[in-house]
Chains A and B, each alone.
Chain A
Amino acid sequence: MQHRPPSLDEILRRPDIWRGQSCAAVRSDSISTGHAELDAVLPGGGWPTGSLTEIFVERPGIGELHLLMPAASRLTHQGRWLALVAPPYVPYAPALASCGIDLQRVLLVRSANSRDQSWACEQLLDSGQCGVVLMWPEAAEQRDLRRLQHKAENGTAVSVLYRPRRAPPCPAAALRLHVSKRESHTVVQVLKSRGSTVANPVRLDLQAALTRRPPVLAEPWTTTPLPAFLQTAC
């Protein structure tokens, strides 16, 4: 079969081609974050799949993990893994479950060796089995990070690298976010976004549910049906 030479339009639509006067079209593969305000500022309208996202976190406890939960919930229910590589604390199963994550699809990689950590990240990204890969590499070198970006491009996972505030940024990352907290709102600032302009910071109220009164707990004995033998006895 003879291949038709690509038209100029097709060539210009390629994500790796930049035109001087405007921003290139970004890759369209992305997954909605589940936060409408955040989708609006991210290239492609969501978490990019197949490229590395870097999130700089000021401190724990400001909603940095919550940002990913709606997308992770959807992907785990599609049968793909949510992988957490070397998380700094225990990812708390009841909280993950209440965010809608299918716990049977959560994969925890715990290794103290930083070489093994980045090796595991590469394997996870390369396999195509993971929907979301969240990574906290201990002492990531630029060379390792570039390799991760390369592997991320092969796969279709939302690949997120959580970095402490003062870590040197990874030049290979396609999207770089900074997460901080102002009063009760989580502020997400896009620091770098390949192929689009940088937008204004977004304020998200991720923790509003915490201060709301909890819903009245359903009494267990009303929601759980009685065992069959008891029902007949009654």
Chain B
Amino acid sequence: MLWLAIRVPRLALEIHSRAYPESLPLALAEHAGANATVLLCNAAAHDCGVRPGMSIASASALRGNLCVVGRDLPAERCAVERIAASLLSFTPQVSLAGPAELVLEIGASLVLFRGIGRLRRAIAGNLGKLGYSFRMACAPTPQAALWFARAGITACITRADELPASLKGVPVTVLDSPEPAAALQRFGIKSIGDCAALPRAGLARRLGQHLLDEIDRALGLLPDPRPTYALPDHFDSRLSLPAPATQTGILLIAGKRLCIELCSYLSASSQGAQQLHWTLHHERRNTTRLVMDLASISRDADHLLVLLRERLASTTLEHPVIALGLACTRRQPLSFATRALLQEQVSQSAAADRLLDRLRARLGPAAIKGLEQQMDHRPEHAWRVCSLGTGRKTPAAMSNGVRRPLWLLEKPGMLQERQSVPWHEGPLTLIAGPERIECGWWDRQPAIRDYFIARDARNAVLWIYRERIPGGRWFLHGYFS
């Protein structure tokens, strides 16, 4: 067994800062009131002189547009769970350890990822794309890995017999609960090595058995079962923005984080997304909802982000957005063959589907259509638009021998009749016809017409008809282009 511990020390701040450009000076306080103190601040705020421990009032005086966010414990818990879900694509055994800590069993994944170095780099890349800073450490027991991560030691110990020696220098502040750690420091015990050298019976009497058990678990002398994090059935994630956003560029930063979260979730569950629901939350306004149907199931974060960008480009944001949500309502298993293609080479049909997704995202599904023939003699009913790719194959016999124009007028245009000759910018010469069409009496849209092919004074060829009723008029219905 080999365990990797991940600690996200600045989680409370980063759940806010990752949704916004880094240039925004941001400080985290216990609550949003003016008498609170700064707990954490980002680099932009640090550059203006804001430091942890400062009161919010003096920090705001240093930088007028400092954005102060209050601590949001439920959001932190959600964020850790979403990190866990995204790490499930690296190993099936992920456990939540502390408020901002996770442990992963990676011994079984080393072959797949070709070594511990590559696996660590892959995990680090994933966390970086999610927008978190982190500390990582490897050890044969989860407790020892956690200790290293808490101490900020990037250890990578793979053998159990190296463990006691390497734990010696670790400070006692890494212990799970702060009380025994404080007591040990009062005794003058600074490191785990010193602590382990003390008589066990006396230590247990003074500070409790828990301390000894923790040290034994770290050394692998006691079993340390960890509950495995189970992937939730639904993906529904929400990212609050530290400051209201009106520009799509800012929304895309948050959108990118959500897309990456979704795609790691999908990859952990071997699925692809078919429909996405984006929600833009506004202050005291109704939520804007954007629904996206994908032409083919996908879990490519870049593609999903392109779709969001096109969709936002065609949406006008009337009110500032305070939070962005993404839910994946329709998912489907993504087969292994498709996954291999997505990673290596994009097949022809996948590229076509991406094109259609992009067009639909920007122009709306109604603007992108296919054409289909219908079994009807009435020209206006012999065709219709359909969704792309769903059109029925038409029997070849249907289009044999009929002479139809390439352009049809959506609404037939009435023609004048002068000296019993139809007139369209000049007299029309009938060159073929009539083709009698009389049908549709059953659905109250009857067509009782004689169609002619006519040439106008400037040699354009038109498709015209005359209503075959008393006093019937002439109409222009198409162009032989």
Contact = CB atoms under 8 A, between A and B. Distances in A.
B458 to A, nearest CB: 7
Nearest to A105: B370
A172 B317 CA distance: 36
Nearest to A69: B406
Contacts of A93: 371-373, 382-384
Interface string A39-67: 00000000000000000001111111110
Contacts of B351: 127-129
Contacts of A20: none
A181 B370 contact: no
A89 B394 CA distance: 22
Contacts of A106: 370-371
Contacts of A209: 403
A71 to B, nearest CB: 14
Contact of A181 (B389, B401, B460): B460
Interface stretch (A21-29, A108-116, A140-148, A226-234): A108-116
A203 B398 CA distance: 31
A34 to B, nearest CB: 15
A109 B363 contact: yes
A110 B480 contact: no
Interface stretch (A6-14, A188-196, A216-224): A216-224
Contacts of A92: 379, 383, 404-408, 478
Interface string B403-435: 111111110000000000000000000011000
A111 B481 contact: no
Contacts of B409: 89-90
Interface in B321-365: 348, 351-352, 354-355, 358-359, 362-363
A128 B346 CA distance: 12
A119 B362 contact: yes
Contacts of B458: 58-59, 181
B404 A108 contact: no
Contacts of A109: 359, 363, 367-368
Given A66-B406, A129-B355, A223-B397, A89 B383 contact: no
Given A90-B410, A109-B359, A61 B461 contact: yes
A61 B480 contact: yes
A197 interface: no
B479 A103 contact: no
B402 interface: yes
Contacts of B400: 98, 215, 217-218
Contacts of B355: 123-124, 127, 129
Contact of B399 (A87, A97, A215): A97
Interface string A176-216: 00000111100000000000000000000001011100111
B370 A108 contact: yes
A104 interface: yes
Contacts of B366: 110
A95 B404 CA distance: 5
A96 interface: yes
B481 A217 contact: no
A96 to B, nearest CB: 7
A153 to B, nearest CB: 18
A103 B391 CA distance: 8
B453 interface: yes
Contacts of A107: 368-370, 388
Chain B interface category by residue count:
35 or more
Contact of B393 (A104, A119, A214): A104
B385 interface: yes
Contact of A60 (B372, B373, B388, B479): B479
A123 B403 contact: no
Nearest to A82: B371
Contacts of B384: 93
A110 B365 CA distance: 10
B407 A90 contact: yes
Nearest to A183: B459
Given A65-B481, A103-B370, A108 B405 contact: no
A91 interface: yes
A211 B367 contact: no
A217 B431 CA distance: 20
A151 to B, nearest CB: 13
B314 interface: yes
A187 to B, nearest CB: 10
B8 interface: no
B383 A62 contact: no
Contacts of B394: 97, 103
B363 A61 contact: no
B382 A89 contact: no
Given A63-B480, A184-B459, A110 B406 contact: no
A70 B368 CA distance: 24
9 contacts: A91-B371, A92-B478, A93-B372, A97-B373, A103-B370, A107-B369, A107-B388, A109-B363, A116-B367
Interface of A: 58-66, 69, 79, 81, 87-99, 103-104, 106-111, 116, 119-120, 123-124, 127-129, 181-184, 207, 209-211, 214-218, 220, 223-224
Given A79-B348, A104-B370, A119-B362, 7 more contacts: A61-B407, A62-B461, A66-B480, A88-B407, A90-B410, A111-B367, A181-B458
